[in-house]
Each structure stands twice: as structure tokens, then as C-alpha cells.
Chains A and B, each alone.
Chain A
């Protein structure tokens, strides 16, 4: 189960990159600032929240709901890993 792509950083980053690139119609390097580059509108930002919650079975609440966590593929990956990690720790 260590191989489940939904739980490795690489797998998560790949899945998020695929989703974002498809929606913005452009290649998206993991470090690119999506807000600064104008690729992500405020409405799409919320779609990212909903998408991450559904795709990775996490809940993004409270202080985690801030733009910085969604600024780049790398930032989103870190968020999902952290939220997933917390779930696994209690479930293991």
C-alpha cells in the first residue's frame, strides 16, 4: 500500500498537475505561482479546494483555507500530504 499513488508526494503532484494543466490549458511547472501568473481565477481557486478534497479524501478547514496553500502544485501537494499523513497516523 506504500505504492498507492494517492499517498506518495510524486503521485499526488502528478495528479494535481494533470488536473490543473487540463483546466488552464497550459503546462504547469510544480513551482509556478498560479495566482501571480494569472492562471488561476478566484473561482477556480475554490474549485481546487473542492477537487483536492474529493480526489484525496481530505477536508481542508480553518486556517488551512488560505491562498498560500494553493499557490502552486508543490504547495498543494504538501497540504494534501500533511492532511493525509494525519489521517494515516490515526488509522494505522
Chain B
């Protein structure tokens, strides 16, 4: 099974924040990538940003020296995933959209090809209802930027099979990732902890207890958080964060997880974080 994984390409659905940085990671490791989105404009932006991200990865020494980068194919056609050795779903965090696209993807790819979802917190078991072969679906929670962050959270759904787990873990090893495998639950481990913390950080700012900068400086200086929760929020994308929080609230029944008013207001204004140049912080021009 998967004997040709070493030479084969992967397919990534969704060319947003995560699809791009996962693609840069794979290319930098010498893996060819077929990147699929529904928008031509998005794909064009993605090409340019991925080029910069690969330079960024090189700058930070994230890729093995001397490795020939993989080649990128960006396309609107989901059929292009048919030959991939591994397929990664990284589309918008919307449960019904994901269910529909998962069904399409699992119709396109042959048996034996592991399907990975990069969802922030929709249980793998829920998404498994939409695929033909639930045993071949697993969660891999890459973090942004995927080419720099060494560790990923791997989620084994109740139906995920041993073969698929083994294939996913060996693929991640090829990408140079350290892994921690957890069981399936809304938000898994990292989103269950991080997303509510960011939501609270935003509430603290809205209540006037402290400024954005002060919250981050305290979490950094006193508690060793690498950037502070609100800078992290800007890196994630505030729209994605709000979607993920809403899904977490629904699936845990904990209404404090509902995205707070300040977060929603920023999303309504289109201040989505680094990707639009402004979120909790102002970034001037967008890095791309």
C-alpha cells in the first residue's frame, strides 16, 4: 500500500491561509503539490504568496539544504486530485460546505489514498459521515505557518483505520513534522484551549481592562506565550477564528465559546488580521 508515496504528489483543497502554507511546506520538502480552489483570483494570489513563503522557509532554515523543491500545479479542477498519494482538505471552516466537498473528494480519489482534514475543530467522526471510506479519513491540525511550526496535532477518529494512521504518520515524517496523536473531540486539544483563550483576550480588551498590546505583552512576558493570543489571532485570521469558535460552541454546548462582539465587529469590518493588513494590530502593507 502506498508504495509510491516517496515520488508521488499530494493534493490540497483550499488555497487560503492554510492551503498556502501547507503547500509551501510540501514544496520545500520536495513534494509536488496540486492546489485546488474555487477562485482563480485566489489561486493567483496563492502562487505569489507561496513563492514568498518558500523563500521565508529557506531564510529560517526550515527546509533541508540542497533538496529540489516540488512543483506546484494550481487549478480549479477537483478532478486533478485523482492521482495524489495523499489528499489534504483545507477549505473554509464551514461544516456543511466541508461535508459536501468531502463527499466530492472521496468520490474522486481511489481506495488506499489517505484523506486528511485540516479542520480546526469539527470532529473527524462528523466529517466521516460524508466520505465513502471513513477508515481512510484522519485529522491533521497544521498550524500557521505550517512550514515553520515543527509540530502538528494528529486526530484519530473513531473509524480511522490502522493503515491510514500509519500512512499519515509516515507522510508527516517526510514533511519533517513532530506529531502528537489525540482522540477525536470538538476542537481536539489545541483549538479547545487556544480559541477560547483568544476570545477571552478580546473580551478583556473590549471591557477596557487592558490594551491589545498589554494583553499580549503579559502573556508573552509572564507566561511565555510566543507572540501573545491577539497577535496569534491575527495570524490565524479573525473570520476563521469566529467560525471555529461558533462550531466549538455548538458542539460543546458551551455558549461562552461563541465569538465575542469585538471579534464579530472586526470580521464585519473586514479587518481579518494579517491577511487583510489589519486585525487587532495594523500591519501596513500585507506581506506577500
Residues of A within 8 A of B (CB): 41-43, 45-47, 49-50, 65-67, 70
Contacts and interface: CB of A to CB of B under 8 A. Distances in A.
A65 B56 CA distance: 8
A42 B279 CA distance: 19
A70 B61 CA distance: 13
Majority secondary structure, A binding face: helix
Instruction: State the 5 A-B residue pairs at the shortest beta-carbon distance, nearest first.
Output: A46-B56, A65-B59, A65-B58, A42-B60, A65-B55
B59 A46 contact: yes
Nearest to A62: B58
26 contacts: A41-B227, A42-B56, A42-B60, A42-B148, A43-B145, A43-B235, A43-B287, A45-B56, A45-B59, A46-B55, A46-B56, A46-B59, A46-B287, A47-B287, A49-B55, A49-B56, A50-B52, A50-B287, A65-B58, A65-B59, A66-B58, A66-B59, A66-B61, A67-B59, A67-B60, A70-B59
Nearest to B220: A38
Interface of B: 52, 55-56, 58-61, 145, 148, 227, 235, 287
Contacts of A70: 59
A67 B55 contact: no
A46 B145 CA distance: 12
B59 to A, nearest CB: 5
A46 B24 CA distance: 14
A46 B285 CA distance: 13
Nearest to A23: B284
